[in-house]
């Protein structure tokens, strides 16, 4: 398994750490538990990490030095992919390893997979998690434009991989329409959630564990602090909410989980967070917004359970793992009608959907959930029921079936 930029053991919520990290970790663990030997190769980013770490039975993470250990922007990671590939091959040779197939995650891994597949003569399964052409449609090119290089690599991977995994029907449609993907080599396999970690917890207990006031109304945002996650839109909607319903200003708190450049006690905040803090100050919301930093999975489950609702205002999402985790904890979600969120959230049953970027609609939906107790209970019940259909065990079953079908064709 290749996950060049996203270490499955990384603390979540920092720069380039999110759903892809969780996906790789949980899938590798499930496959390992089934007796499949899985090695996840990722760039060495944390100085204190050992070179090799166990993920569980038959599954391990192998850190590969590629440039200086520490965070690097994605294009600088790309510039060192030849070094990454060479050192990966050195490690494989040193252990005398042989693999039956390569499962690559994200476009950076697709480029490494192309090189290794040609040398090892093994098939590649590709999953992108996000698509460059989709991001181009929603992002400000001057701020975070996606390079032609990324698009070219994605197109090549779609064309040459033995199979391409999409997390939702919407992502599959994007692959067909934008990348001319072949239906015969595409599989739609949703993401999962760990019901042992993410499950309903009594709200009063969760608030006590997270040191939150029992009487406040809590809105939760979880994710990387980036434009594409819609955090700017959420803060704008919060300001509008207080303008329209001034009585809520003394009751509502937005908790923002995630955001350190490299999560740690002495990690600097990103420029984006500093920008958001200025926005909070300008709108006199210092008492209503709390940036709590990154949290591990167990703590994150407590924050979901403590919240009255989880806001997922993303401009695009291939799936929407945060929404699913919140739903598994019985927390209603107000999300945007984009990508996989449209398939995870049943509008009016397990959450509410609003147009992406529409801060007015987002403010109205948030107000409905906060003020209407019966609606909130209805959505919470529907959220729990909906989440029960998504597990990592089910993901593993479908992935194994895909591996077997690909390997059968190779043997023929």
**CA neighbor of 146 nearest in space, from 355, 327, 366, 316:** 316
**Residues 286-317 pLDDT 10s:** 999 999 988 888 999 999 999 999 999 999 99
Q: Which pLDDT score is estimated for 266? A: 47
pLDDT of residue 145: 67
pTM above 0.75, yes or no: yes
Model confidence over 40-78: pLDDT tens digits?
Answer: 999 998 888 999 999 999 999 999 999 999 888 889 999
* Per-residue pLDDT, 321: 93
pLDDT of residue 80: 96
Boundaries of CATH 3.40.50.2000 in the chain? 19-192+392-411, 203-387
CATH of domain 19-192+392-411: 3.40.50.2000
**CATH number belonging to the domain at 203-387, selected among 1.10.10.10, 3.40.50.2300, 3.40.50.2000, 1.10.10.60:** 3.40.50.2000
Residue 13: pLDDT over 60: no
Residue 102 pLDDT > 70: yes
User: Residue 218: pLDDT above 60?
Assistant: yes
**pLDDT tens, position by position, 80-90:** 999 999 999 99
């Amino acid at each position: 398994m290749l996950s060049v930029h996203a270490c499955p053991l990384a603390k979540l919520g920092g720069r380039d750490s999110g759903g892809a990290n969780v996906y790789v970790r949980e899938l590798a663990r499930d496959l390992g538990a089934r007796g499949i030997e899985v090695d996840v190769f990722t760039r060495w980013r944390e100085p204190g990490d050992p070179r090799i770490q166990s993920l569980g039975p038959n599954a391990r993470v192998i850190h590969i030095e590629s440039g200086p250990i520490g965070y690097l922007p994605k294009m600088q990671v790309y510039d060192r992919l030849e070094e990454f590939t060479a050192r990966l091959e050195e490690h494989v040779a040193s252990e005398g390893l042989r693999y039956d197939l390569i499962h690559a995650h994200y476009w950076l891994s697709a480029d490494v997979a192309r090189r290794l597949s040609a040398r090892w003569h093994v098939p590649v399964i590709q999953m992108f998690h996000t698509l460059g052409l989709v991001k181009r449609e929603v992002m400000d090119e001057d701020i975070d434009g996606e390079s032609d290089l990324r698009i070219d690599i994605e197109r090549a991977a779609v064309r040459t991989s033995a199979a391409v995994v999409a997390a939702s029907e919407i992502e599959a449609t994007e692959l067909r329409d934008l990348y001319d993907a072949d239906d015969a080599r595409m599989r739609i396999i949703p993401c999962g959630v760990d019901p042992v970690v993410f499950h309903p917890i009594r709200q009063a207990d969760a608030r006590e564990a997270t040191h939150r006031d029992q009487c406040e109304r809590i809105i939760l945002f979880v994710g990387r602090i980036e434009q594409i996650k819609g955090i700017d839109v959420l803060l704008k909607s919060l300001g509008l909410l207080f303008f329209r319903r001034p009585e809520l200003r003394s009751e509502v708190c937005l908790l923002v989980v995630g955001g350190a450049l490299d999560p740690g006690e002495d990690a600097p905040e990103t420029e984006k967070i500093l920008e958001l803090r200025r926005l909070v100050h300008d709108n006199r919301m210092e008492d209503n917004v709390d940036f709590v930093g990154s949290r591990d999975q167990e703590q994150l489950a407590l924050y979901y359970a403590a919240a009255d609702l989880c806001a997922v205002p993303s401009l695009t999402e291939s799936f929407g793992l945060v929404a699913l985790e919140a739903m598994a904890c019985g927390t209603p979600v107000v999300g945007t009608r984009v990508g996989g969120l449209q398939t995870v959230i049943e509008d009016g049953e397990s959450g509410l959907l609003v147009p992406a970027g529409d801060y007015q609609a987002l403010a109205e939906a948030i107000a409905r959930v906060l003020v209407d107790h019966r609606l909130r209970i209805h959505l919470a019940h529907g959220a729990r029921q909906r989440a029960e259909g998504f597990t990592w065990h089910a993901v593993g079953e479908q992935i194994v079936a895909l591996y077997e079908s690909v390997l059968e064709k190779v043997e023929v």
